[in-house]
Amino acid sequence: MTLPIPAIDLRDGKVVRLFKGDYAQQTTFDVEPLALAGRYADAGSAWLHVVDLDGARSGQFENLPTLSRIVDAGRLHVQAGGGVRDEDGVKRLLDAGVSRVVVGSIAIREPDTVARWLATYGAERIVLALDTRFRDGEWKLPSAGWTADEARTLDDLLPFYVAAGARHLLCTDIDRDGTMTGPNTALYRHLEQLAPSMDVQASGGVRSLDDIAALTLQGVSGVILGRALLQGEFTLGEAFDMAARAGATC
């Protein structure tokens, strides 16, 4: 079953969204992060996805106090990332009560290191964030908050992690992120062929309940919902209902 997962992106302790990952194109929402997390819990969510945008660039999880308040409320399982560059960062988030640590840049740059983390902490505790953009006929893998291009491609790297026993993959089409132009279902079809054993969380561009239905029919395990919820395009309850209805037709 496909699970809608609400997302909170943090910058300077505030709830924000970026357009295509561009830090210069930021929308700040007038809601306190803990209050927003509470609203999502009230709507029936069991999970929350949190991104530290400051940490994604600096390499330090800078919004940890805000994250800790959300975790300490005890109402949601939290998967969090942004700024995890070493094992101390993994431990820091796990010690803060995070259920799953999302690793991005280091998963691209140091796959052997992340493979060791998978063996040490278990595949349930690590989410690979292999965010991508299609360029020159390949799915490229930018890093450092999508500000630096890396040589490895999605097709190069993902089979390595399948062999390493990774289970959870979060994959954002960067060109769709924050755009409200619809998800790239072709990307998720490609991932199903490339890594059928992995639970894929789709992210980027979701704008409507029909988009959730399309991704559910695609067979993804989760759909990350950010701007669409913040702008009131639909409610989280409606997202759960749509995923359940679409899943029943699979």
Task: With beta carbons less than 8 A apart as the criterion, state whether 7 and 224 touch.
Answer: yes
Instruction: Say how far apart CA 167 and CA 128 lie, in whole Å.
Output: 9
Q: How far is CA 28 from the centre of its chain?
A: 19
Cβ-Cβ contacts under 8 Å for 194 (sequence gap 6 or more): 154, 155, 158, 159
Active site residue 22: no
Structure tokens at 166: 């990774």
Active site residue 12: no
Cβ-Cβ contacts under 8 Å for 85 (sequence gap 6 or more): 59, 105, 106
Helix (H) or strand (E) holding 46: none
Structure tokens at 33: 């992060």
Q: Bridge partners of 77?
A: 47
Q: Phi/psi zone of residue 166: left (φ > 0), alpha (ψ -120 to 50 degrees), beta?
A: beta
Helix (H) or strand (E) holding 127: strand 126-129
- Catalytic entry in 9, 52, 177, 211: 9
Structure tokens at 245: 């209805």
- Catalytic entry in 54, 131, 173, 177: 131
Catalytic positions, please? Answer: 9, 131
